[in-house]
Structure 1
């Protein structure tokens, strides 16, 4: 029986789902325009399994994006992942969106990666990813985030907040390939492990 990893990213507002075998992505819903953004997770998963000739019971681990980001869609994605993990008796591991976004751009630059996502006005989720990890995070007012950015000489930027005088974000979602890369850094916990969405803080 094939051992498959299930990956689900939702916090950017456009759900993407993937299946991987070992270190290789073998299904990515982002490559199919008819599936991209679908919130019918069960149907997309069934389509993915069918496309690679696999069964649901071949899933051995689940990794799900836990935000911060769109609150409703993130919670829905995490709930689906947790429910599936419970039903299959396999672990569900949460991956912070800022780790995913930071890794996505860190593969393209040596500069720090600034990540800024919308929260309840006037607040934002703000982070700085460097040296392979999230070095700073805070839920703060937009003006405070701007001051942090202005202190940096060079940076790449990810997220969904446009700020006058600052470069527009390059991405607001990681690829499934990047998500798998981040997932592989994690030790696999017990089968009863479940994920929890990030609301206003990373802990």
Structure 2
């Protein structure tokens, strides 16, 4: 049984899942007992048990590398890296904004993503034409100036702005994460995840 492990943490509400082929078959975000939990080892064990599987059935590991909450993003990436090292599996690292953009995008509207960072900064991303077109760590005021250059867009993330509709969501589903992961080339044999973190000056 070939299973992919999916771990998404940077939105501050960790989600862990298992996928077989193109379908998520275990998803902690759908199970109330895992609300707010960061016990990734227990989550993995519960998922494998639910599937009647073991660690040896994991053939791929995919993790969200942010930007987002610094502590939880680093912890998630560290867990994925450690598990990958223990099992001899590479780790596929996915930027959170790429997944968030894919979650929200429509055919004709770009997606602007804003996540909180140390004041006065925010994480700013622009998703258009099916890909993450731009990422920048910049001041909130500079982000607003960028928005003024766009005619029509959807907003995602966890930053609200006066005069704009509230963000549609701050998290991609694990099914979207799986879809993005399956669109990527296989990672190099020794690939590991390195979280996107801000530089505090």
Tell me which interval the TM-score lies in, with the shorter structure as reference length: over 0.9
Q: Distance in 2 between matches of 1:110 and 1:53?
A: 43
* 1:198 lines up with 2:199 in the alignment: no
Matches within 5 A, 1:99-178: 99-106=98-105, 108=106, 110-178=108-176
Kept in 2, the 8 Å contact 1:11–1:73? The answer is yes
- Report the RMSD for the aligned CA atoms in angstroms: 1.2
Equivalent residue for 2:19? 20
Please report the TM-score for the alignment, with normalisation by the length of structure 2: 0.96
Q: Distance in 2 between matches of 1:48 and 1:126?
A: 34
Aligned residues: 199
Equivalent residue for 1:82? 81
How far apart are residue 109 of structure 1 and its match? 5.1
Kept in 2, the 8 Å contact 1:128–1:135? The answer is yes
Equivalent residue for 2:57? 58
Q: Distance in 2 between matches of 1:85 and 1:164?
A: 43
Where in structure 2 are there 5+ consecutive unaligned residues? Answer: none
Q: Distance in 1 between matches of 2:108 and 2:48?
A: 37
How far apart are residue 191 of structure 1 and its match? 3.0
Q: Distance in 1 between matches of 2:170 and 2:115?
A: 8
**More displaced, 66-75 or 50-59?**
50-59
Runs of 4 or more consecutive aligned structure 1 residues displaced over 6 Å after TM superposition:
none
Q: Distance in 1 between matches of 2:140 and 2:197?
A: 17
User: For 1:34, what is the secondary structure of its paired residue?
Assistant: helix
How far apart are residue 65 of structure 1 and its match? 0.3
Equivalent residue for 1:11? 10
Where in structure 1 are there 5+ consecutive unaligned residues? Answer: none
User: For 2:42, what is the secondary structure of its paired residue?
Assistant: helix
Kept in 2, the 8 Å contact 1:109–1:156? The answer is no
Kept in 2, the 8 Å contact 1:123–1:141? The answer is yes
